[in-house]
Amino acid sequence: MSPMSTFFDRLIDRYRRIDSLLCVGLDPRTQPGEPVATRIVDANRRIIDATIDTALCYKPNIAFYEQHGPEGLQALVDTIGLIGDVPVLLDAKRGDIGSTAEAYAAAVRAVGAGAVTVSPYMGSDSVLPFVDAGLAVFVLCKTSNPGSNEFQTLAAPDLPLYRAIAAAATAWSNECGLVVGATDRDAIAAIRAAHPDVWILAPGIGAQGATMRDTVAAGVRADGAGLLPVVARGISGAADPKKAAADLVDEYRRARDERASSIAGATAATVPEDATVTRLLDAILDT
Protein backbone atom coordinates (compact mmCIF):
# COMPACT_ATOMS: atom_id res chain seq x y z
CA MET A 1 0.00 0.00 0.00
CA SER A 2 1.15 3.51 -0.80
CA PRO A 3 1.80 5.79 2.19
CA MET A 4 -0.73 8.14 0.55
CA SER A 5 -3.48 5.49 0.55
CA THR A 6 -6.77 6.64 2.03
CA PHE A 7 -8.75 4.81 4.68
CA PHE A 8 -11.11 3.54 2.00
CA ASP A 9 -8.16 2.35 -0.12
CA ARG A 10 -6.98 0.36 2.88
CA LEU A 11 -10.42 -1.17 3.34
CA ILE A 12 -10.53 -2.32 -0.28
CA ASP A 13 -7.00 -3.69 -0.13
CA ARG A 14 -7.78 -5.72 2.98
CA TYR A 15 -11.15 -6.83 1.63
CA ARG A 16 -9.46 -8.31 -1.42
CA ARG A 17 -7.06 -10.19 0.83
CA ILE A 18 -9.45 -11.59 3.45
CA ASP A 19 -12.84 -11.61 1.66
CA SER A 20 -14.65 -10.14 4.67
CA LEU A 21 -16.49 -6.93 5.51
CA LEU A 22 -16.85 -7.62 9.23
CA CYS A 23 -16.42 -4.54 11.43
CA VAL A 24 -15.69 -5.63 15.00
CA GLY A 25 -16.83 -3.31 17.76
CA LEU A 26 -14.48 -2.96 20.72
CA ASP A 27 -16.75 -1.68 23.49
CA PRO A 28 -15.37 -3.08 26.77
CA ARG A 29 -18.03 -3.17 29.47
CA THR A 30 -15.80 -3.08 32.52
CA GLN A 31 -16.68 -1.53 35.85
CA PRO A 32 -14.56 1.20 37.45
CA GLY A 33 -11.79 -0.24 39.57
CA GLU A 34 -8.13 -1.08 39.62
CA PRO A 35 -6.36 -1.72 37.36
CA VAL A 36 -8.92 -0.63 34.78
CA ALA A 37 -6.48 -0.12 31.88
CA THR A 38 -5.13 -3.64 32.18
CA ARG A 39 -8.60 -5.16 32.29
CA ILE A 40 -9.74 -3.21 29.23
CA VAL A 41 -6.68 -4.10 27.18
CA ASP A 42 -6.84 -7.76 28.21
CA ALA A 43 -10.52 -7.96 27.25
CA ASN A 44 -9.84 -6.33 23.90
CA ARG A 45 -6.79 -8.49 23.25
CA ARG A 46 -9.00 -11.57 23.55
CA ILE A 47 -11.33 -10.22 20.87
CA ILE A 48 -8.55 -8.98 18.59
CA ASP A 49 -6.66 -12.28 18.75
CA ALA A 50 -9.87 -14.10 17.83
CA THR A 51 -10.79 -11.84 14.90
CA ILE A 52 -7.54 -10.51 13.45
CA ASP A 53 -7.89 -12.80 10.40
CA THR A 54 -11.55 -12.03 9.74
CA ALA A 55 -12.05 -8.37 10.70
CA LEU A 56 -11.97 -5.85 7.88
CA CYS A 57 -11.70 -3.14 10.50
CA TYR A 58 -12.20 -2.42 14.20
CA LYS A 59 -14.52 0.16 15.72
CA PRO A 60 -13.83 1.16 19.33
CA ASN A 61 -16.50 3.41 20.82
CA ILE A 62 -14.63 6.11 22.69
CA ALA A 63 -17.28 6.42 25.44
CA PHE A 64 -16.30 3.03 26.88
CA TYR A 65 -12.77 4.36 27.34
CA GLU A 66 -13.44 7.98 28.29
CA GLN A 67 -15.63 6.92 31.20
CA HIS A 68 -12.50 5.69 32.97
CA GLY A 69 -10.59 8.94 32.55
CA PRO A 70 -6.87 8.98 31.66
CA GLU A 71 -6.48 5.25 32.26
CA GLY A 72 -9.29 4.50 29.87
CA LEU A 73 -7.81 6.70 27.16
CA GLN A 74 -4.44 5.03 27.61
CA ALA A 75 -6.22 1.69 27.26
CA LEU A 76 -7.66 2.91 23.95
CA VAL A 77 -4.20 3.82 22.67
CA ASP A 78 -2.81 0.48 23.84
CA THR A 79 -5.72 -1.38 22.24
CA ILE A 80 -5.17 0.29 18.87
CA GLY A 81 -1.50 -0.60 19.20
CA LEU A 82 -2.50 -4.28 19.33
CA ILE A 83 -4.41 -4.02 16.06
CA GLY A 84 -1.40 -3.32 13.87
CA ASP A 85 -2.13 -2.36 10.27
CA VAL A 86 -5.83 -3.27 10.30
CA PRO A 87 -7.95 -0.13 9.74
CA VAL A 88 -9.44 1.46 12.88
CA LEU A 89 -12.59 3.59 12.90
CA LEU A 90 -13.11 5.58 16.10
CA ASP A 91 -16.78 5.86 17.01
CA ALA A 92 -16.81 9.30 18.66
CA LYS A 93 -19.76 11.08 17.02
CA ARG A 94 -18.05 14.46 17.18
CA GLY A 95 -20.04 17.51 16.10
CA ASP A 96 -18.38 20.90 16.44
CA ILE A 97 -16.78 23.43 14.10
CA GLY A 98 -13.64 25.45 13.53
CA SER A 99 -10.70 25.05 15.86
CA THR A 100 -12.71 22.71 18.08
CA ALA A 101 -13.30 20.32 15.18
CA GLU A 102 -9.62 20.58 14.28
CA ALA A 103 -8.71 19.65 17.86
CA TYR A 104 -11.09 16.69 17.77
CA ALA A 105 -9.49 15.56 14.49
CA ALA A 106 -6.01 15.82 15.99
CA ALA A 107 -7.16 13.68 18.90
CA VAL A 108 -8.42 10.97 16.54
CA ARG A 109 -5.08 10.87 14.78
CA ALA A 110 -3.21 10.90 18.10
CA VAL A 111 -4.83 7.66 19.26
CA GLY A 112 -4.02 5.99 15.94
CA ALA A 113 -7.40 5.81 14.18
CA GLY A 114 -7.88 6.48 10.48
CA ALA A 115 -11.58 7.32 10.48
CA VAL A 116 -14.20 8.75 12.82
CA THR A 117 -17.96 9.09 13.14
CA VAL A 118 -19.23 12.69 13.02
CA SER A 119 -22.57 14.45 13.46
CA PRO A 120 -23.53 16.67 10.48
CA TYR A 121 -25.95 18.87 12.44
CA MET A 122 -23.72 21.95 12.03
CA GLY A 123 -23.18 21.27 8.34
CA SER A 124 -19.98 20.80 6.39
CA ASP A 125 -18.11 22.96 8.90
CA SER A 126 -18.37 20.09 11.37
CA VAL A 127 -17.20 17.45 8.88
CA LEU A 128 -14.53 18.84 6.57
CA PRO A 129 -11.95 19.64 9.30
CA PHE A 130 -11.64 15.89 9.82
CA VAL A 131 -11.21 15.29 6.09
CA ASP A 132 -8.62 18.06 5.95
CA ALA A 133 -6.73 16.27 8.72
CA GLY A 134 -6.43 13.18 6.52
CA LEU A 135 -9.24 11.20 8.11
CA ALA A 136 -12.18 9.38 6.60
CA VAL A 137 -15.49 10.46 8.09
CA PHE A 138 -18.65 8.44 8.60
CA VAL A 139 -21.49 10.94 8.85
CA LEU A 140 -24.49 10.09 11.03
CA CYS A 141 -27.28 9.60 8.53
CA LYS A 142 -30.00 7.13 9.64
CA THR A 143 -28.97 5.72 12.99
CA SER A 144 -29.95 2.38 14.51
CA ASN A 145 -31.73 3.63 17.65
CA PRO A 146 -35.56 3.61 17.85
CA GLY A 147 -35.68 7.39 18.40
CA SER A 148 -33.94 8.08 15.09
CA ASN A 149 -37.32 8.52 13.38
CA GLU A 150 -38.15 11.51 15.58
CA PHE A 151 -35.97 13.74 13.38
CA GLN A 152 -34.16 11.76 10.70
CA THR A 153 -37.26 10.91 8.65
CA LEU A 154 -38.70 14.44 8.63
CA ALA A 155 -39.25 15.91 5.16
CA ALA A 156 -36.47 18.28 4.11
CA PRO A 157 -38.25 19.39 1.89
CA ASP A 158 -38.79 16.66 -0.73
CA LEU A 159 -36.81 13.81 0.84
CA PRO A 160 -36.51 12.46 4.36
CA LEU A 161 -33.84 14.36 6.27
CA TYR A 162 -31.49 11.37 6.30
CA ARG A 163 -31.61 11.23 2.49
CA ALA A 164 -30.74 14.93 2.32
CA ILE A 165 -27.83 14.31 4.71
CA ALA A 166 -26.60 11.49 2.50
CA ALA A 167 -26.73 13.67 -0.61
CA ALA A 168 -24.87 16.50 1.10
CA ALA A 169 -22.20 14.33 2.72
CA THR A 170 -21.35 12.48 -0.48
CA ALA A 171 -21.03 15.83 -2.26
CA TRP A 172 -18.72 17.26 0.42
CA SER A 173 -15.95 14.73 -0.07
CA ASN A 174 -15.10 11.29 -1.41
CA GLU A 175 -13.73 10.62 2.07
CA CYS A 176 -17.24 10.69 3.57
CA GLY A 177 -19.09 7.51 4.36
CA LEU A 178 -22.48 7.22 6.02
CA VAL A 179 -23.79 5.68 9.23
CA VAL A 180 -27.03 3.87 8.40
CA GLY A 181 -28.37 1.49 11.03
CA ALA A 182 -28.82 -2.13 10.02
CA THR A 183 -32.13 -1.99 11.90
CA ASP A 184 -33.69 -0.06 9.00
CA ARG A 185 -33.26 -2.22 5.94
CA ASP A 186 -35.38 0.07 3.77
CA ALA A 187 -33.17 3.05 4.62
CA ILE A 188 -30.01 1.12 3.74
CA ALA A 189 -31.54 0.03 0.44
CA ALA A 190 -32.62 3.59 -0.36
CA ILE A 191 -29.17 4.98 0.41
CA ARG A 192 -27.46 2.29 -1.66
CA ALA A 193 -29.77 2.93 -4.61
CA ALA A 194 -29.14 6.68 -4.47
CA HIS A 195 -25.40 6.40 -3.76
CA PRO A 196 -24.01 3.24 -5.39
CA ASP A 197 -20.39 3.83 -4.36
CA VAL A 198 -20.56 5.19 -0.80
CA TRP A 199 -19.26 3.20 2.17
CA ILE A 200 -22.01 2.49 4.72
CA LEU A 201 -21.29 1.78 8.38
CA ALA A 202 -24.19 -0.38 9.57
CA PRO A 203 -24.46 -0.89 13.34
CA GLY A 204 -27.29 -2.88 14.91
CA ILE A 205 -26.60 -6.49 13.88
CA GLY A 206 -27.31 -9.03 16.60
CA ALA A 207 -28.11 -7.29 19.88
CA GLN A 208 -30.37 -4.69 18.20
CA GLY A 209 -32.17 -7.26 16.08
CA ALA A 210 -30.78 -6.85 12.56
CA THR A 211 -29.28 -9.78 10.66
CA MET A 212 -26.16 -10.02 8.55
CA ARG A 213 -28.12 -11.52 5.66
CA ASP A 214 -30.69 -8.72 5.43
CA THR A 215 -28.07 -6.02 5.89
CA VAL A 216 -25.85 -7.37 3.12
CA ALA A 217 -28.79 -7.89 0.77
CA ALA A 218 -29.84 -4.27 1.22
CA GLY A 219 -26.52 -2.49 1.44
CA VAL A 220 -23.61 -4.20 -0.26
CA ARG A 221 -22.18 -2.60 -3.40
CA ALA A 222 -22.06 -4.27 -6.80
CA ASP A 223 -18.42 -5.24 -6.12
CA GLY A 224 -19.38 -6.98 -2.87
CA ALA A 225 -17.83 -4.25 -0.71
CA GLY A 226 -18.91 -0.78 0.44
CA LEU A 227 -20.54 -1.97 3.65
CA LEU A 228 -19.25 -2.28 7.23
CA PRO A 229 -21.68 -4.45 9.20
CA VAL A 230 -20.82 -3.85 12.85
CA VAL A 231 -20.91 -6.59 15.48
CA ALA A 232 -19.67 -6.07 19.04
CA ARG A 233 -21.57 -8.01 21.71
CA GLY A 234 -22.30 -10.88 19.33
CA ILE A 235 -18.56 -11.56 19.31
CA SER A 236 -17.35 -10.36 22.71
CA GLY A 237 -20.16 -12.19 24.50
CA ALA A 238 -19.74 -15.45 22.60
CA ALA A 239 -18.25 -18.50 24.28
CA ASP A 240 -15.97 -18.82 21.24
CA PRO A 241 -15.39 -15.35 19.72
CA LYS A 242 -13.28 -16.74 16.87
CA LYS A 243 -16.06 -19.09 15.77
CA ALA A 244 -18.67 -16.35 16.17
CA ALA A 245 -16.68 -14.06 13.89
CA ALA A 246 -16.05 -16.82 11.35
CA ASP A 247 -19.76 -17.66 11.28
CA LEU A 248 -20.62 -14.02 10.65
CA VAL A 249 -18.16 -13.85 7.77
CA ASP A 250 -19.69 -17.02 6.30
CA GLU A 251 -23.12 -15.37 6.55
CA TYR A 252 -21.78 -12.31 4.74
CA ARG A 253 -20.29 -14.39 1.93
CA ARG A 254 -23.47 -16.41 1.43
CA ALA A 255 -25.62 -13.28 1.40
CA ARG A 256 -23.27 -11.51 -1.00
CA ASP A 257 -23.20 -14.48 -3.37
CA GLU A 258 -26.99 -14.87 -3.20
CA ARG A 259 -27.38 -11.22 -4.10
CA ALA A 260 -24.92 -11.50 -6.98
CA SER A 261 -26.71 -14.61 -8.29
CA SER A 262 -30.06 -12.86 -8.04
CA ILE A 263 -28.79 -9.87 -10.00
CA ALA A 264 -27.16 -12.12 -12.60
CA GLY A 265 -30.36 -14.13 -12.96
CA ALA A 266 -32.46 -11.03 -13.44
CA THR A 267 -30.02 -9.76 -16.06
CA ALA A 268 -29.94 -13.09 -17.89
CA ALA A 269 -33.73 -13.23 -17.96
CA THR A 270 -33.81 -10.12 -20.14
CA VAL A 271 -31.37 -11.48 -22.72
CA PRO A 272 -33.79 -13.67 -24.76
CA GLU A 273 -36.24 -10.79 -25.08
CA ASP A 274 -33.49 -8.39 -26.12
CA ALA A 275 -32.08 -10.92 -28.58
CA THR A 276 -35.51 -11.47 -30.09
CA VAL A 277 -36.01 -7.75 -30.58
CA THR A 278 -32.60 -7.49 -32.23
CA ARG A 279 -33.40 -10.33 -34.65
CA LEU A 280 -36.73 -8.75 -35.55
CA LEU A 281 -35.07 -5.42 -36.23
CA ASP A 282 -32.42 -7.12 -38.37
CA ALA A 283 -35.13 -8.90 -40.35
CA ILE A 284 -37.03 -5.67 -40.92
CA LEU A 285 -33.89 -3.87 -42.07
CA ASP A 286 -33.04 -6.71 -44.46
CA THR A 287 -36.41 -6.52 -46.21
Q: Which residues are catalytic?
A: 93
Are residues 193 and 217 in contact, defined by beta-carbon separation less than 8 angstroms? no
> What is the DSSP secondary-structure string of 160-208?
BHHHHHHHHHHHH-TTEEEEE-TT-HHHHHHHHHH-TT--EEE--BSTT
What 80-84 contacts at long range (C-beta under 8 Å, 24+ apart), as own/partner pairs, is 80/111, 80/112, 80/113, 81/112, 82/41, 82/44, 82/45, 82/48, 83/48, 83/52, 83/58, 84/52
3-state secondary structure of 142: strand
